Chain A
Amino acid sequence: MNVLAFAWRSLIRQPARSILGILGVAAVGALLFDMLLLSEGLVLSMRDLLDRLGYDVRVMSTDSIPRPGPDLADAAPTAAQIAKLPSVRTVVTVRTEAAHLVREGVSVRAALVGISGRPRPWTVLRGRDIAGAGDVVINDSAARALQASPGTTITLSAFCSRDDAAPPPRRLRVAGVAEFPFDTPDNAGAGLDAADLAEACAQSAEAADYLLVTSAGDPERAAADIAALRPDLLVLSNEQALGQLQQRGFTYFRQISTVLTAVTVSFALLLITVLLTVSVNQRLGEVAALRALGFSQRRVVLDVLCESALIIGIGGVLSLPLGALLAAWLDAILKQMPGLPAALHFFVFRPDALVVHAGLLAATAILAAAYPMRIVARLPIASTLRNEVIS
């Protein structure tokens, strides 16, 4: 009988303790798996959101990521300058404001995005995209609240709080219902032409919150060219923006994940070591008998190692679906934070997390078996058998 089969028989001979050990490893392994997903989850999710926008580079007044900072007063001429760079394909100006959308006496507060060109930072779900002045796309939440659909007319009252003026309400036609990547759950949102939004705010169309740039293929080159053209502005490629976010808001969850990973692995190591040690101590007579029957020292040591590997291996495999369920639960808890985009996730699967998970569990199996293996390796056969008979 090979070592693995022998170890398997040792496990099934004591099913209660084996099942409990495996379940314990599964629970700890699930937590470990989730912490590995958490360590990079926000960054991966944010990268996905940024990529979905269709822009490579953003140009802002200050380094106040994720918020764009003060307005760019000369956004339109700056965009025209940038658009002439050979490394740049398109440039759009973006303005964000808050407003009330009103239809048939129902009013909802909405986040507005005004954009000067294409590509648009939204995906049309129903109807069509805005075609020009007077068109607006709204998200599902706004459509539900206003009971609006493509073709209906709504009134927009912007409160762009830069001065005391109250701009007159503007009537807009709902061209379509769209999904905005940075929509927060249950918050109404709308997108329209930047000039329309400026008019709704009774402000200059020259200004914008920031610029979004699509490169001709090399975002870093485009960012460098724009920075050279306008050194007074902050220019960030998506990767650079993610780097800033990693150093700032996202670092908390990475640190938490590191701490909990370390604690989880230590916990599993300690408990498996204790389980195996107690188990081996209870079977010293049996091990000595096997040695007396001709089992080599290497063979009985490998038996202990295989037992450890089986407990952790089976527990580790079970931990993956358990971890996926747990991740969904924890993600739902964390996403209750106010102001988070609905499409942002804290726990995102990546293949290398699986590799690290397997590596950590394998290392735990070997380390946890080290002490009991030592006990078995140094077991004095004759005296152990004698003690067994006397007791």
Chain B
Amino acid sequence: MKPFLFVLALLLSLTASFLGAQAPEPPSILVTRQLAEREGLAVGDLVRLAADARGERARTFRIAGTYEPTPNPLRLGLVPREVRLHLPDLLALTRDPDTPAGTERVSSVNVALVDPAEARRFAQDVNARTPGVFARRAAGAAGMGSIFVVLERFHYAIAAVTIAAATVFLLALTIMLVDERRETVGVLRLIGLPARRILVQVLLEGLFIAAAGALFGLALAAAAEGLINRFFQWRYDTALVFVRVTPRVAALSVAIAVPLGAVATVAASWALLRRRALRLARR
């Protein structure tokens, strides 16, 4: 079956039984779920399709089923009013009356290779052998790959700014928290604990807190994932997945958050530990 976006009048038939008695069983088509919902179409309905807005040379088809169209971020917000037909039916519907059957044009030919890894070489071979034909790998052929790459870069940039802001706040907080424990640190130094020992303790504390914060953040993200996806899928009536917390994303978040938290704690404590113990203990 071949996807085909129609421009045309789509009319419900009068009665299936009447047409069934008058003509052979009409060819079957699939319609998108969204189109079926909008136009009140159901499996088994007879519809008339034409290739022009005036409905000339319309033909009758029976809806064999509905399908969820492949989500396309480029068409977000558009209702996918699409119908899939068998290629011969589509050619018969769109063929110019002067064009003999079998000489029609098709816009593209999809080829399944025995070895998909050979796709690039196959495309180069076809391009070299058949002037006027342009072959390319199916992956990224729709031109969407680069859009996703750009959106990914945009989100990384937003994340970088967020991390920078969070780091600054984290440093401010840790400086305040460390300052709050100045006297405790002074007493520990006075009773004989070396600065390095206290620094290790601070580092471990920072690691624990950062790890707990990162895990809490991941749990929050996992909980928000479903909500965000459900909201946007409802908003745009699409099956597109907007947010996915993958193991790679989770690992990356933890890999950034934990060392950052630990480093911020140590950096904030460093200046404090360089002071004299008596001064820290305010004696």
Contacts and interface: CB of A to CB of B under 8 A. Distances in A.
Interface stretch (A13-21, A85-93, A179-187): A13-21
Given A20-B172, A31-B162, A252-B77, 7 more contacts: A17-B175, A21-B169, A61-B7, A278-B176, A326-B161, A330-B154, A336-B150
Q: Which of B143, B176, B179, B232 has the most CB of A within 10 A?
A: B176
Interface residues of B, number: 37
B278 interface: no
A20 B171 contact: yes
A78 B137 CA distance: 43
Given A267-B165, A330-B154, A333-B154, A279 B7 contact: no
26 contacts: A17-B176, A20-B175, A23-B168, A24-B165, A31-B161, A69-B7, A248-B77, A249-B77, A252-B73, A252-B76, A260-B158, A267-B162, A267-B165, A271-B169, A275-B173, A278-B177, A282-B179, A326-B161, A330-B157, A330-B158, A333-B150, A333-B153, A334-B154, A336-B146, A337-B146, A337-B147
A104 interface: no
B161 A27 contact: yes
Nearest to B161: A31
Contact of B77 (A16, A247, A271, A337): A247
B153 A27 contact: no
A36 interface: no
B143 A338 contact: yes
Contacts of B154: 330, 333-334
Interface string B148-171: 001001100110011011101101
Contacts of B164: 27
Contact of B235 (A255, A281, A334): A255
Interface in A334-356: 334, 336-339
Interface of A: 16-17, 20-21, 23-24, 27-28, 30-31, 61-62, 69-70, 164, 232, 247-249, 251-252, 255, 259-260, 267, 271, 274-275, 278-279, 281-282, 326, 329-330, 333-334, 336-339
Contacts, number: 95
Nearest to A16: B175
Contacts of A251: 76-77, 236
B158 A31 contact: yes
Contact of A164 (B78, B105, B150, B166): B105
Contacts of A333: 150, 153-154, 157
Contact of A338 (B147, B157, B175): B147
Interface string B172-211: 1101110110000000000000000000000000000000
A334 B150 contact: yes
A259 B179 CA distance: 36
Nearest to B105: A164
The SS class assigned to the A binding surface is helix
Contacts of B74: 249
A274 B150 CA distance: 35
A275 B173 CA distance: 6
Given A31-B158, A326-B161, A17 B78 contact: no
B220 to A, nearest CB: 11
Contacts of A70: 7, 52-53
Given A62-B7, A252-B76, A278 B173 contact: yes
Nearest to B79: A248
A282 B78 CA distance: 56
B173 to A, nearest CB: 6
Q: Which of A20, A247, A274, A282 has the most CB of B within 10 A?
A: A20
Contacts of A27: 161, 164-165, 168
Contact of A248 (B53, B76, B158, B177): B76
Contacts of B158: 31, 260, 330
A232 B147 CA distance: 35
A56 B277 CA distance: 77
A107 to B, nearest CB: 14
Shortest Cβ-Cβ A-B pairs, 10 listed? A27-B165, A20-B172, A248-B77, A24-B168, A24-B169, A271-B169, A278-B176, A23-B168, A28-B165, A336-B150
